[in-house]
Amino acid sequence: MNFNDFMAKVRYWDNRSAKWIIRHFYILFFEIFLVCIFLVFFGNTLQVINISDAVSKKNIVERLLLTNSINTLIIVLLLLLNSFWMLYMFNSILRFRTILKEINYNLSKKKGN
């Protein structure tokens, strides 16, 4: 086995291991992290909705604070949903990148022969 074949095998296994790490660790970690944050804020939203029944209609300050907290929760939930979408897009870009790397590797290997 000459040096070029050995380096080709090293590049191949490096590419395979990097692909496995990217798919199974980083994306899964961020998905789990975002789902936990989403569940916490969703539970908080449900508590705010339950509090809205206890707020009196005559007290304007309490109504304003409730409206402000609901608006803030809507913004946070929309940002979390945007994070899920960005994570999905990032995952798609990484998959396209690895597919293009494999195509490039296979074409360069055929060119050398």
DSSP H helical segments within the chain, as ranges? 3-21, 27-54, 60-112
Give pLDDT tens digits for 3-28.
888 888 888 888 888 777 766 676 67
Classify residue 64: in a domain, yes or no.
Answer: yes
Total number of domains in the chain: 1
What's this model's pTM, rounded to 2 decimal places?
0.52
Classify residue 17: in a domain, yes or no.
Answer: no
Number of C-beta neighbours around residue 89 at 10 A: 10
Give pLDDT tens digits for 39-69.
888 888 778 777 777 887 888 888 888 888 8
Classify residue 3: in a domain, yes or no.
Answer: no
Classify residue 92: in a domain, yes or no.
Answer: yes
Domain range enclosing 55? 23-112
Classify residue 16: in a domain, yes or no.
Answer: no
Classify residue 4: in a domain, yes or no.
Answer: no
DSSP characters over 15-43? HHHHHHHIIIIIHHHHHHHHHHHHHHHHH
Classify residue 18: in a domain, yes or no.
Answer: no
